[in-house]
Amino acid sequence: MPTDARCLVETDDSSARVRLTGVLDRAEVEAVREALLARLWQRPGLLLVDLSGVRIPDPVARDALDGVCRAVADWPASEMLLDPDGAPPDPPPDPLGVELPPVVEAAREARSLVAAGCLRWGLPELVEPACIAVTEMVNNVVAHALTPMTLRLAPRGNALHVAVRDHSAGQPAYAGPASADALGGRGLLLIDTVARRWGSTPLPDGKVVWCVLYVEDEAAVRN
């Protein structure tokens, strides 16, 4: 994936390794960031980024690469390591996913996949809160983005990671609890209530909205 003449993102579809070559400075940071994020969404799993062939004269550029690692840390089945030494860690578990159209019936199919995933991975306590979260995530695409979407989910320890990717640049805006007489604005509040963390990552042609739910959080609510 070329960015420009100064920095290249060299990928190999047969492996989980990407190599940066050339010079990475502030002018190229955004293009490299977008290329890495696009690769991670298109091919979930462990991504190893080889920096041996790139010169990074500006610490801001290196900070931007670290920012990509942080941005994808809560995506389902995604992890990025910079200049890894030694044997790579075990890859994350394979995710479940489905392509959905922007129609109201999409939320029902999303809930079905989430429930099946929770039961498959031994996380039955998260079926209800995860279904609440994914319903709001999908309905937000139906109401605002109006584009096809991809739902992806995967476990990590005692947590469930859920993400919905659409093709709209509009970012969700959460301004806190809605007033009692408000006509809307409760969808993000519900996600914020059931998930320990949630957020949105811009992509070149849309965004990924993600959330992470933990078994112990749900147990605390029930007790």
Same domain, 163 and 76: no
Q: Report whether pLDDT(155) > 60.
A: yes
pLDDT at 203 over 50: yes
Alpha helices for the chain (secondary structure H): 26-42, 59-72, 106-120, 127-140, 187-194, 215-222
Where does residue 220 fall: left (phi above 0), alpha (psi -120 to 50 degrees), or beta otherwise?
Answer: alpha
**Helix-helix angle 187-194:127-140, to 10 degrees:** 150
- Lowest average pLDDT, out of 16-20, 97-101, 210-214, goes to 16-20
Q: pLDDT grade, residue 187 (50/70/90)?
A: low
Stretch 107-125: mean pLDDT: 97
What's the pLDDT tens digit per position in 69-84? 999 999 999 999 999 8
- Burial of 130 per CB tally in 10 Å (0-12, 13-18, 19+): buried
* CATH number of the domain where residue 58 is located: 3.30.750.24
Q: For residues 108 and 211, state if they share a domain.
A: yes
Domain span including residue 15: 7-82
* Residue 100 sits in the same domain as residue 199: yes
What average pLDDT does the structure give for the chain?
90
| Whether 115 and 181 share a structural domain | yes
For residue 14, what pLDDT is reported?
83
Total of domains in the chain: 2
CATH code, domain carrying 200: 3.30.565.10
Question: Is residue 67 located within the same domain as residue 102?
Answer: no
pLDDT of residue 182: 36
Decide if 2 is inside a domain: no
The pLDDT assigned to 181 comes to: 38
